Chain A
Amino acid sequence: DTGVSQDPRHKITKRGQNVTFRCDPISEHNRLYWYRQTLGQGPEFLTYFQNEAQLEKSRLLSDRFSAERPKGSFSTLEIQRTEQGDSAMYLCASRASWNTEAFFGQGTRLTVV
């Protein structure tokens, strides 16, 4: 399967714990995006990378969130000191260029209890 891959698919964590999600984009895509989707809403942009450079972060991305793409391939999104409001689906997408199709992974559903 050469699509976008996300791991894990589901994560349940206790409030205050740290969690990390991984995204493997389509191999030849140099742009990688993170989005967050809450129930009944469309996805909202969080941040994006071109190769290993993080070029934009949304105001939704508080200081507890950090994202990396160390070698311009896979990316990780870490949430520190999770809160119940962090419960959402976290989606990753990749694109070959800024104006080509964006392909999404299956998402990681985070539940903070």
Chain B
Amino acid sequence: SQQGEEDPQALSIQEGENATMNCSYKTSINNLQWYRQNSGRGLVHLILIRSNEREKHSGRLRVTLDTSKKSSSLLITASRAADTASYFCATDLSGNTGKLIFGQGTTLQVKP
């Protein structure tokens, strides 16, 4: 079953603008991971943020995690047309199975 919900479901912006995607989940987690997926392709790992971390950066990506609100956000700064893709958050539930529970994703379109 899906436990994450992403918001918005779709986002369309101009090149150079920032894009923010949000993810909410329902149960306790060990960590949360963000992925990018281009149409018809596999998932590309972006960032893993642990439950005891509040913010993480990687290049133009910034991820925050608020475990009290059970939510995370992914910010892409200075977006490029090549950032056009679907973005998914995936939660590692408490326990040690390592299986991920995905949301339905946010589809981002960056117009040149």
User: Taking beta carbons and an 8 Å cutoff, which residues of A are in contact with B?
Assistant: 4, 6, 31, 33, 35, 40-45, 48, 55-56, 89, 91, 93, 95, 97-107, 109
Contact = CB atoms under 8 A, between A and B. Distances in A.
Q: B interface, how many residues as a size bin?
A: 20 to 34
A99 B42 contact: no
A102 B104 contact: no
B48 interface: yes
A104 B99 contact: no
Q: Is the interface of B mostly helix, strand, loop or mixed?
A: strand
A95 B41 contact: no
Contact of A56 (B30, B43, B97, B104): B97
Contacts of A43: 43, 88, 90, 100, 102
B98 interface: yes
B2 interface: yes
A26 to B, nearest CB: 12
Contact of B100 (A4, A6, A102): A102
7 contacts: A4-B42, A40-B104, A43-B43, A56-B99, A91-B43, A97-B98, A99-B31
A104 B97 contact: no
B41 A99 contact: no
A33 B98 contact: yes
Contact of A99 (B30, B35, B44, B101): B30
